[in-house]
Amino acid sequence: MNPTTQHQLLLKIVAGSAWADGHLEPQESAYLGSLLRRYNLEHDTELRELFQKPIPTEQTERWMADYLTQATETERMQLLGAIGNLLIADDNVSPEEHSLLDDYHTLMAGIPARPESAPSLVRSVRQFFRRMAKAVSS
């Protein structure tokens, strides 16, 4: 995957993660803006529109499954870091959010060398996002 496509998909996943609880906090919006600037995507209209209205969890799950089937271990860690930074953007990491990051790390560690041949990946991503929605809304 080329770097621009990878960064766009990463931003979509992080934006979807920010909307997991149904609303976008000012700190989350600021963090997403910093990612847009970091990857020189601040003029990407499609990405900016993702900050305007809630993203269905199912869409975020599809983006994450697509990302994980194509990403290297380093790219997976980059996504983990971005989601972690999103969760701590409000300077308050709950035990549920901390556990969620551990679960995500476990999810990534379980991805085989040829993830496209692992149908359980989508199910694992779905379970991860369900837990994430619960963690960020508590």
- Residue range 98-119, pLDDT digits in tens: 776 777 777 776 766 555 545 5
Neighbours of 3 (CB within 10 A): 9
| 72 pLDDT more than 60 | yes
Enclosing H/E stretch for 99: helix 95-109
Average of pLDDT values for 116-132?
63
Helix axes 73-87, 95-109, angle to 10 degrees: 170
Cα 100 to Cα 121, 125, 135, distances in angstroms: 17, 12, 7
- Rounded-to-integer distance, Cα 17 and Cα 31, Å: 12
Nearest CA among 50, 65, 49 for reference residue 19: 50
| 96 pLDDT more than 80 | no
- Rounded-to-integer distance, Cα 127 and Cα 125, Å: 5
Q: How many domains does the chain have?
A: 1
Identify the band that residue 41 occupies on the pLDDT scale cut at 50, 70 and 90.
very high
Identity of residue 94 = S
- Rounded-to-integer distance, Cα 13 and Cα 94, Å: 21
User: The domain spanning residue 18 has which CATH number?
Assistant: 1.10.3680
Q: Which residue segment(s) compose the domain that 51 sits in?
A: 3-137
Provide the pLDDT for residue 30: 94
